[in-house]
């Protein structure tokens, strides 16, 4: 009885394939390292290797139909142009509305690619940033203000230390800066009552102000680096972000109101990062890592953090009986030694 129940999915699939002249059309799109197409030859790659484990139980000849873009592939599935696709499609709620998915055969993650920055260039960029100059300008303005006040009181009765005209203003600026930094050279000191009151106020105010302004300048030197860290998907709103149009990454970014620039291929997106058109390119981690490992893009790197976990599955037109027929064989293939060896390579 158990043997009969086990054979029912296979018998159902056999009947279905006979009705289709025993031909199974599989939609593919080159997506290294999972699917690699060869002109005039059978495709290869991780997904193809896994399909070969399942294919041993499929009583039909297989025809591969190649698509140029991910959008064309999913449209072909939706319209029934192919019986299934072995491409590493991520299972999403949006896709489940018009596609069926098999048991997941690979677990991955959505990752981000950025361009490496020279630490000294980044430091100089921070130093010459608007925030740095703003903090420095405020500091100089306050120093000049108290220098002018001390000069107004001292310019008539203490002309030896606080001269007339522009030179006197420079004397006041010098005194204000020396007092604020608590250097205390003693070369200039107020002698009038008004000047001493200004000096008294400035000595205590400077203690508080120099602490805050110093922190502001230090913040200006580091804030750009801190802003460049990405902890959540919503942080990407501050960056020029791109991904492959119609991918699960595209849908995920838009779910959090991140409007990415859409590219047809991973190659185009990574080149945009290389050229400075993008700050971040978001896509499937194994595909990004494989591409960077096999192409000369040394300035790019994949961030360690995943934005989300992805589950790769075979995909079918909605309502296809192939899903129930193939799932037992997919589960069996997942437990095979050959597949475990493939994953450990």
pLDDT tens digits, one per residue of 171-198: 889 998 888 887 777 788 888 988 889 8
Residue among 76, 96, 101 nearest 314 (CA): 101
pLDDT tens digits, one per residue of 198-243: 888 888 888 887 777 667 666 655 555 545 678 889 999 989 999 9
Round to whole Å and give the CA distance between 22 and 177: 90
pTM beyond 0.85: the answer is no
CB 44 within 8 A of CB 65: no
Run of H or E including 294: helix 285-294
User: What domains does the chain contain, in order, with CATH numbers?
Assistant: 2-107+311-343 (3.40.190.10), 114-121+231-302 (3.40.190.10), 123-227 (1.10.287.70)
DSSP single-letter state for residue 69: S
Round to whole Å and give the CA distance between 81 and 74: 10
Q: DSSP string covering 150-214, please?
A: HHHHHTTT-TTTS-SHHHHHHHHHHHHHHHHTT----S----SHHHHHHHHHHHHHHHHHHHHHH
As a residue count, the chain comes to: 345
Residue 96 DSSP SS3: helix
Q: What φ, ψ does residue 7 adopt, rounded to 5°?
A: -85, -15
How far apart, in Å, are the Cα atoms of 219 and each of 124, 129, 144, 224, 227? 14, 11, 23, 9, 11
Residue among 17, 12, 25, 11 nearest 60 (CA): 17
pLDDT tens digits, one per residue of 246-269: 899 999 999 999 999 999 999 999
CB 148 within 8 A of CB 174: no
Q: Is the pLDDT of residue 45 over 70?
A: yes
């Amino acid at each position: 009885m158990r043997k009969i129940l086990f054979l029912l999915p296979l018998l159902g699939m056999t009947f279905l394939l006979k009705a289709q002249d025993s031909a199974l059309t599989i939609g593919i799109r080159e997506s290294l390292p999972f699917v690699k197409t060869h002109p005039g030859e059978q495709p290869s790659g991780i997904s193809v290797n896994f399909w070969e484990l399942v294919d041993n139980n499929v009583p039909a000849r297989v025809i591969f139909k190649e698509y140029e873009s991910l959008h064309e592939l999913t449209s072909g599935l939706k319209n029934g142009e192919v019986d299934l696709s072995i491409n590493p499609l991520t299972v999403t709620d949006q896709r489940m509305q018009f596609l069926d998915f098999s048991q997941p055969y690979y677990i991955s993650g959505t990752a981000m690619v950025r361009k490496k920055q020279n630490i000294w260039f980044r430091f100089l960029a921070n130093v010459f940033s608007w925030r740095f100059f703003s903090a420095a300008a405020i500091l100089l303005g306050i120093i000049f203000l108290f220098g002018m006040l001390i000069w107004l009181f001292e310019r008539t009765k203490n002309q030896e230390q606080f001269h007339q005209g522009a030179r006197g203003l420079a004397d006041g600026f010098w005194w204000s800066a020396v007092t604020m930094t608590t250097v205390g050279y003693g070369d200039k000191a107020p002698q009038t009552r008004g000047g001493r009151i200004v000096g008294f106020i400035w000595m205590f105010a400077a203690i508080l102000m120099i602490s805050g302004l110093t922190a502001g300048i230090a913040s200006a030197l580091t804030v750009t680096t801190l802003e460049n860290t990405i902890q959540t998907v919503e942080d990407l709103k501050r960056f020029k972000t791109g991904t492959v149009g119609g991918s699960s990454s595209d849908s995920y970014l838009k779910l959090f109101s991140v409007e990415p620039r859409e590219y047809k291929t991973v190659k185009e997106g990574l080149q945009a990062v290389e050229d400075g058109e993008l700050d971040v390119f978001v896509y499937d981690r194994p595909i990004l890592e494989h591409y960077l490992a096999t192409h000369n893009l040394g300035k790019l790197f994949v961030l360690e953090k995943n934005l989300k976990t992805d589950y790769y599955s075979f995909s079918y037109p909605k309502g296809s009986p192939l899903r129930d027929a193939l799932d037992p064989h997919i589960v069996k293939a997942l437990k095979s030694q050959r597949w475990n060896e493939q994953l450990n390579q």
